[in-house]
A and B are shown apart, each in its own frame.
Chain A
């Protein structure tokens, strides 16, 4: 196409719909993340660690879990892998914390909103950038583990069990992904400094998990475990795979996780609506 200015009259360029505009933000956002060394390292190491440790659990299951039946309940073990908590927090901190905060800091948020998209389009696009990356930690390793278990030990883990495990892994993994995506975007929308949002992410996950676990066992009140999102997730995951619970009811834990996820998303939306425009 040749330059339309200044000699020719205006072109009526055909414009694609809002869905395409949101897709453009997602595609560009993902491309930018995959060019950032920090993001690549976290994704690569995170996926590798969580997957390898989960496979090791499969390989050494009979030694690690003497006496435990190697049925569906076994898969609660890789789902409870502590590396998942660490890397999902790291991923949300390194990638998610900057998704909105960077736009607020550079004031590019004004540029986005001056385009024909809505606040909701913008937020959905940002969530769609983070969600697949987080799911590479929360879903992918669990699915790979179940498939490898069925491939390596077809006599121990039947394909029926493996496929059930895949389905449940996807469900609980998506739950954890939704929670972390929503909370990371919420924290990112609160500040122009992504470091603060990243610290908030770690604080939210570990700062609640460790004290809640210690206090719950110290004073013998397991209800304190509800305070920690990771413990809530563990309660849901163990219940889903039919493994022994961690001392709290899964429906309550699920309600807390979903409630916080929805609330964080709603507050993020309202917060971004209220920002209206950024000035220097």
Chain B
């Protein structure tokens, strides 16, 4: 297992940023998604032991996060916020971070040139970081996380502040790392299409809680005994009539979701006829991550209300 947590909790004052989180995350490319304030960054920082948990335990790569130093030796972290030393050169900073990670001077310098080449920072590597654009800074942040070739990469919102071209470049780099053997990636992002293209497994957080976790393909396919119905017309009335007809139907932001059982198809068309509505799609419940996310968040909010 890449990450195992049991009752992991972090409280800041009155706010439970991570609340009783129990999750088992397998090796590979993992997406960590959730709205702003969901607890993603706090969760990542707990894994790095940058924060001490209020309660619960967590293991990363089989080691307790309380071990600190041996855990961080195997992790490369790319923070969301700006964190670079402005008066250092790109190659100077990356090599410096390599040395603090335990590489000897020559290896650190050699690796820093390698990873800077990999991320696409060429001659600019000799310029001071203060002179870099946002895209270049993001690449330096990525390079410093790679310099000691860790087993686990933690990327916290790596696309932040990037223009579409920069975002595509960064996405390609993250995808390349995620696909390379022996390396694992935890990608935290609220840009769900990005997560969808890179990750095989996702953990969805909201309000510090895990609201879903699993193989992305399974989560998106959903349950085979449920259908999704897109209706042009009064969707709420449609759901109500189906419910009255004895079917389990939910109207959500991504359409109607109905549990399949004999007679459903004819009931759907009867209802459409009665309401003067148009059935535009009726089929297997295949959602995008965004749709799944909206549905889960809406369901959580409904439960909370």
Contact = CB atoms under 8 A, between A and B. Distances in A.
Interface of A: 1-6, 9-11, 13, 15-18, 20-21, 24-25, 28, 32, 102-103, 106-108, 110-118, 276-280
B120 to A, nearest CB: 12
B83 A115 contact: no
Contacts of A111: 79, 83-85, 97, 144
A277 B48 CA distance: 11
A6 B82 CA distance: 26
B44 to A, nearest CB: 10
A121 to B, nearest CB: 9
B269 interface: no
B177 A5 contact: yes
Contact of A21 (B68, B75, B100, B182): B100
Interface of B: 45, 48, 50-52, 68-70, 72-73, 75, 77, 79, 81-88, 96-97, 99-105, 107, 110-111, 114-115, 117-118, 144, 146, 148-149, 151, 176-177, 179-183
B99 A24 contact: yes
B100 A25 contact: yes
A6 B180 contact: yes
A10 B111 CA distance: 13
A4 B113 CA distance: 12
A15 B75 contact: no
Given A5-B177, A16-B102, A280 B114 contact: no
A117 B176 CA distance: 28
B217 to A, nearest CB: 24
Contact of B79 (A15, A21, A110): A110
A108 B100 contact: no
Contacts of B50: 110, 113-114, 276-277
Given A6-B180, A9-B182, A111-B144, A16 B103 contact: yes
Given A10-B181, A110-B83, A117 B100 contact: yes
Given A13-B107, A28-B96, A107-B81, A117 B181 contact: no
Contacts of A2: 114
B82 A106 contact: yes
Contacts of B148: 13, 15
Nearest to A112: B100
A106 B83 contact: yes
Nearest to B70: A116
12 contacts: A6-B177, A10-B151, A16-B102, A16-B103, A20-B99, A32-B88, A106-B85, A108-B83, A108-B84, A114-B75, A116-B100, A276-B51
Contacts of A13: 103, 107, 111, 148-149
A3 B110 CA distance: 9
Contact of B102 (A6, A17, A277): A17
Contacts of B182: 9-10
